[in-house]
Amino acid sequence: MASGFFAILDDIAVLMDDVAVSSKIATRKTAGILGDDLAVNAEKATGFLSSRELPVLWAITKGSFLNKVIILPIVFLLNFFLPDAIKWILILGGFYLAYEGVEKIVEYFFHKKHEPETAVDEVAQEGADAEKSKIKSAVTTDFILSIEIVIIALGSVLDKSLTIQIVTVSVVALLATVGVYGLVALIVRMDDTGYKLIKHSNNKGILTAIGQFLVKLLPLIIKFLAVIGTLALLLVSGGIFVHNIEYFHHILPNVPATIKEFIFGLVAGLLAVILVTIIKKVIAVAKPKHTA
């Protein structure tokens, strides 16, 4: 009886050891996409009132956990019964990410300058709707990036047993969510930390200097992440196309991979934006106009 119990413990220890090794390899292979995930979601989780930053981030984090709960069993089942479907899901997700990236660029260059300044009371009235919209957008983007993370992690352990595959990919997915949104939480609270340091040090000494540095650094980081997040969307989408469409994989063989992926992401995003714009205009024209 005792020997059987210790044998089970030994099997669990061996399994955990295998999972630890596999998770380390899988995490290393997903490091690039995790970096992109951080840049994209940090940019999406900023821009709110200070009192709403953590509640919004928590809402996005819960959405990310739900995404993983939905994605993990579907990916495992598809990989077992219909592995080719995963590739097409990735490609569709790539078009969505490319669309988001190019839409941000178009918004910045062609719409931002023409928008009138919004009054404070209008911001207060529209804050809840804008917050819900941004959370929804962040969770949707997280869903696409989560698919990419899960599939890359799964691809690194395909030679392992089904148990190790399931545990390893689940661990990587959990670490991705906790790690990414934990870092995002630290970033968005940087200015509050700075203000507290300044207040605690009575506006003098090294703590005040550090506090002022953190306060001034946050807007720069947000602007930096906005740019990096947009580039990440295009690079991730371009990478999906290059790695999953054989024809694209062999195009421009002498061009560096990063530039190649950016080009494909940009072109795909432009096509997606044009298509969506046309569809919106057709729907607007087709809508019956109510006359007074």
Residue 15 has pLDDT above 50, yes or no: no
User: pLDDT band at 117, cuts 50/70/90?
Assistant: very low
Rounded to whole angstroms, the Cα distance separating 272 from 87 reads 19
* Residue 116 CA, distance from chain mean position: 30
Residue 78 has φ and ψ, to the nearest 5°, of: -65, -40
Q: Are 25 and 100 in contact (CB under 8 A)?
A: no
Assess contact for 231 and 265: CB atoms under 8 A: no
Comparing 15-24, 50-59, 133-142, 162-171, the range with the smallest average pLDDT is: 15-24
pLDDT confidence of residue 76? 87
Residues contacting residue 149 through CB under 8 Å, at least 6 positions apart: 30, 33, 34, 37, 172, 173, 176
Q: How does residue 25 score in pLDDT terms, banded at 50, 70 and 90? A: low
Determine the Cα–Cα distance for residues 278 and 248; give it in Å rounded to an integer: 26
* Segment 25-41 mean pLDDT: 58
The answer to whether residue 42 scores a pLDDT higher than 90 is no
Hey, what are 63's tokens?
A: 């959405």
% of the chain exceeding 70 in pLDDT: 75
Minimum mean pLDDT range among 44-53, 75-84, 100-109, 137-146: 44-53
Write the CA distances from 179 to 61, 190, 270, integer angstroms.
11, 17, 32
Q: Is the pLDDT of residue 10 over 50?
A: no
- Minimum mean pLDDT among 24-38, 62-76, 209-223, 237-251: which range? 24-38
Return d(Cα 98, Cα 238) in angstroms, integer.
Answer: 8
Lowest average pLDDT, out of 35-44, 109-118, 169-178, 247-256, goes to: 109-118
Instruction: Provide the pLDDT for residue 35.
Output: 61
